[in-house]
């Protein structure tokens, strides 16, 4: 199915006790002074329902149970989510540091933190059927079940931030000059898992079961995050060229590599 959603009135958190602007960065972001409008208070946060978001998506699903023991189910989702509302921890699970310009909401217009453009997932289950005349061969080849789980997707966006509070508003959310919100995406993720359970009759109602499982069958490298804070000067210029992908940033983390486990169970 096709999905289109245009949302208004998303919650926006703004510090309304900032001092007067003492200048601006090269991209027009104001720089605030140390004084406060109301000196009796430090920061005063106001929550307004003024944010906008747009989402367009398409979902396709295919499932089939075939003869001879084969079943499969696949789902493909493509979508694009844009908003101008960096939500804080108090307002969402997938939080962001906050606004980079308290005076201009559209300064933060960009992909939302859950903007995964393509996602293909599914499972394939095959149960072997043997018609061999030899009872031993038939017992070995019949009833073997192999399950495959697939997860192939583009990854989530990452917000590149400066190590400085460039605009003096006390929020560590400022991006270097000419860097848009959530402008860099993690590398695509390709993961295949497999599972093989096998029941073995022992005697009467006693049965043994062998379970073999393998995570990340092809041992693909799957990055889950990195340190996206970069060093800038006071004007917001990066001190070194910004990397074009996640592998150029430090402290990368990833999902688990290939893992195999074997289990045994006896039922009686």
What are the pLDDT digits (tens) for 199-233? 887 888 888 889 999 999 999 999 999 999 999 99
82, 35 Cβ separation under 8 angstroms: no
221, 126 Cβ separation under 8 angstroms: no
pTM (global) more than 0.85: no
157, 183 Cβ separation under 8 angstroms: yes
Mean pLDDT of 248-252: 93
pLDDT at 11: 86
Look up residue 257 and give its two tokens. Answer: 């590599």
Cα 16 from Cα 228, distance rounded (Å): 28
SS3 248: helix
DSSP 132-194: -SSHHHHHHHTT-EEEEEEEEE---EE--EESS-TTSSS-S-PPPTT--TT-EEPPPEEEEEE
What are the pLDDT digits (tens) for 67-101? 778 999 999 999 999 999 888 765 555 678 888 99
Phi-psi region of 17 (alpha: psi -120 to 50; beta: other; left: phi over 0): alpha
67 CB-near residues (< 8 Å, 6+ apart): none
């Amino acid at each position: 199915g096709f999905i289109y959603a245009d949302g208004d009135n998303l919650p926006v958190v703004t510090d309304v006790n900032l001092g007067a602007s003492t200048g601006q960065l090269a991209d027009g972001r104001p720089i605030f002074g140390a004084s406060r409008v109301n000196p009796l208070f430090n920061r005063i946060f106001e929550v307004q329902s003024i944010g906008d978001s747009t989402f367009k998506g398409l979902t396709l699903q295919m499932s089939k149970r075939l003869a001879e023991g084969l079943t499969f189910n696949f789902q493909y989702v493509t979508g694009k989510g844009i908003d101008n509302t960096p939500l804080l921890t108090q307002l969402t699970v997938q939080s962001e540091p906050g606004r980079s310009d308290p005076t201009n909401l559209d300064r933060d217009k960009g992909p939302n933190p859950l903007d995964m453009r393509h996602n293909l997932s599914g499972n394939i289950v095959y149960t072997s059927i043997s018609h061999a005349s030899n009872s031993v061969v038939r017992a070995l080849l019949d009833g073997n079940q192999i399950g495959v789980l697939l997860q192939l997707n583009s990854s989530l966006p990452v917000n590149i931030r400066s190590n400085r509070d460039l605009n003096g508003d006390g929020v560590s959310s400022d991006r270097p000059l000419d860097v848009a919100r959530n402008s860099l995406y993690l590398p695509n993720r390709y993961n295949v898992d497999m599972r093989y359970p096998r029941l073995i009759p022992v005697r009467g109602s006693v049965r043994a079961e062998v379970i073999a499982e393998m995570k990340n069958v092809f041992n693909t490298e799957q990055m889950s995050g990195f340190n996206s804070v970069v060093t800038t000067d006071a004007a917001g210029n990066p001190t070194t060229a910004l990397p074009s992908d996640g592998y150029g940033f430090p402290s990368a983390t990833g999902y688990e590599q290939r893992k195999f486990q074997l289990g045994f169970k006896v039922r009686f």
